[in-house]
Amino acid sequence: MRYQLKFTKVDPTLSLKEYAEEKLVSVLEKHLGAGEDPWRFLIEVGRNTMHHRKGEIWFAEVTGSSPFGQIRVREEASEIHEAIDLAEAELKTKLTKSKEKITTRGIRAARRVKDMMRLSRLVRFFRRK
């Protein structure tokens, strides 16, 4: 899995980079695997505007494609670490939901095949004497 970590309107300190990787990349690796797969993700952390001082001015955004489809998570908060934590929780939820959809679709298909193979309940077998 390849990812790019981008900082917007904020200085990329080492501690902030490690925190974002620890929280967001670990979730992606847990759900998608850490191997060399064609999945690409863009993780963006930064400020919405420079002229606001209060409110939800920090954001964390994860976009990319996975075997479960396109993923996009954007969370805003009043602190940068809080935005990363909210994005982590939302990313876990989205990945789990999409993974469950895929497995449920397979289970439903298997049930349909099993029902087609089953004999009708109207057919009765009688023993010959």
CATH (domain of 103): 3.30.160.100
Residue 74 burial class via C-beta count within 10 angstroms: exposed 0-12, middle 13-18, buried 19 and up: middle
CA proximity to 63, closest of 82, 83, 40: 40
91 assigned to some structural domain: yes
Full residue range of the structural domain in which residue 99 is found:
2-117
Distance CA 88, CA 110 (A): 33
Residue 8 in any domain: the answer is yes
Comparing 18-32, 46-60, 82-96, which segment has the lowest mean pLDDT? 46-60
What is the maximal distance between C-alpha atoms in the chain? 94
Average confidence (pLDDT) over 74-87 = 95
| Residue 122 lies inside a defined structural domain of this protein | no
Is residue 110 in a domain?
yes
Domain-embedded: residue 40: yes
How many domains does the chain divide into? 1
The pLDDT of residue 69: 82
* Residue 123 in domain: no
Q: What is the pLDDT of residues 34-64, one digit of tens each?
A: 665 667 899 999 998 777 777 778 999 999 9
